[in-house]
Structure 1
C-alpha cells in the first residue's frame, strides 16, 4: 500500500471518528439529566390529601429534567433557583428545564390515601427515601415495613423517616372529646342592692298604676264641640233645674264623667249652677241646636 493510500485511510478514519465524537457530544447535550434527590417530604392532611415536596440538585445545568412521581398530581409547581419555571406532567413523569442546580418541586396529590371505615390507608411505591409527616393526633395501627425511624417535628407532629420502595401505613384519628356542659351559676346579687331593687319595683308599679288610671279617666274624651252625651244632658235640663243625681238617673252617665261634662258645659256657657240647701242645681243658659 503506497503512502497516498495510507494518508487517505488515515484522514477518512480521523473524519469518521470526529463525526462520531461530535454526535456523542450533541447527544449528551440534548439528553435528560440524572437528577440528584436531596430531600423528599410527604405530609398527610387530615382530609386524605398529600403535600409532596422535592428538593433536587441538578448537575451540569442547563438540563432537561424528568422526575418520576408516585401519584398523579392535582397541582404542581417547579421552582429553579427560587423562580417558577414551565413544567408539564404526563404518564407518571414531570418534565421541566433547569438552568440552575437548585430545584424545588411542590405537589398536591389525592391518590395516595383511601379511607375504609374509621381507618385511613397510605400506600406508595417511591424510588427515593423520604420523610412522612402525619397529621396531629394520628394513631398508627400498622406499618408494612420495619426499617424506619420516628421523629417529632417542631410543630409537634409525628414524622417517619422511610426507605424507598413499596410500603403502606394504616392509621386513624381518636374521636374528639365532647366537653361536658357545666351548669351556668349566676352570682347572687350583693346584699346592698336589694333595697335599691325594691325601690325600683315600687316606682315601676306606681308608674303602671298612674298610666292605667289616666287611661280610665280618658275613656270619655271631651271635645270642644257638643257630642250626643252633651246634648242628652242639655235635653234633660229643658224641663227645669236638676241636680247631678237627677241628671245621672235620667242619662245613665257615671258620676265622674258626668261632673266633667257638667263642668265643661258650664265653661262653654250652655249651663249654669246654683246652690240650694247645700245641693248644686244646673239649668240651661244657652240654646244648643
Structure 2
C-alpha cells in the first residue's frame, strides 16, 4: 500500500508539471533510501542532484558526462540509486522543483533553505518540497528506515517500472489530445472560409483541382499536394466544384472525402 501511495503521489506531481505551461522544467524526487527520480519537460540537459550514481535508467536514450545527462528526448524520466547516509546536499546550475521523501519519524538535524511546503502523505511519509538550486538536509534515520533499506531493491525496480508506465501514458495522452485539437482547429478554420462564386465558368485552378480529384485525390491534403495549391485555396476550389455539381462531398466516420461526379462535366466545354 505504501508503494502504491508513492506511485500515486509521483503521478500527481508529473501531471502538475506538465500542466504548468512553462517553457522547460525539471522535477526531482529524492527518497531517504537513495532512490532518485527525475522528470524533465522540454529540457535535454539534466544535472544529477546526488553523486555515487548506480543503476541509472531513463525512458529515452541518453549520454552520461560526469554528473550531467544529455537526453535524446527532452520529455523523459530518469531514475538512479545514490548513497545518502543521512545527508542530502544538492547544488545545481538551474532552479528545479525538488521533493524530499522521508519517513515521518525522521529527525531533522539541519535544513536549508526552508521548504515551500511540508506535508504528510497517506502512506505515512514526510514530503518536503523545495524550489531552488542549492539545498542541504541532514537527518537521522529511524530503526524502521534502516530495516526497510535492506529490502528496498525489489521495491525500487517495481517503483521505476510503474512510474515510467504512468508518465509515458500521461505524455502520450497529452500528445494525442493536442494533435486532435489541432485537427479540429484546422477543420473549423476551413469551415469558416467563405466561398464566392462569380459565375458558373471554371478557371484554370478549378480545372486543375477537378482533374486531381478525378485522378484519385480524395482528401484536401492530397489535392493540395498534387496541385501545389495552398489548402485554403484548394478548399475554395473544391467548394465551388461541389456547388456546381462537379464534385460530391462524402463524410465517413468524421472523415471527409471528395469524388468527381461522373454524371456532370464530362462533355462540358468549360473543362
Q: Is TM > 0.5 for Structure 1 vs Structure 2?
A: no
Which is greater in Rg?
Answer: 1
Larger % of helix: which?
2
Larger relative contact order (CA 8 Å, sep ≥ 6)? 2
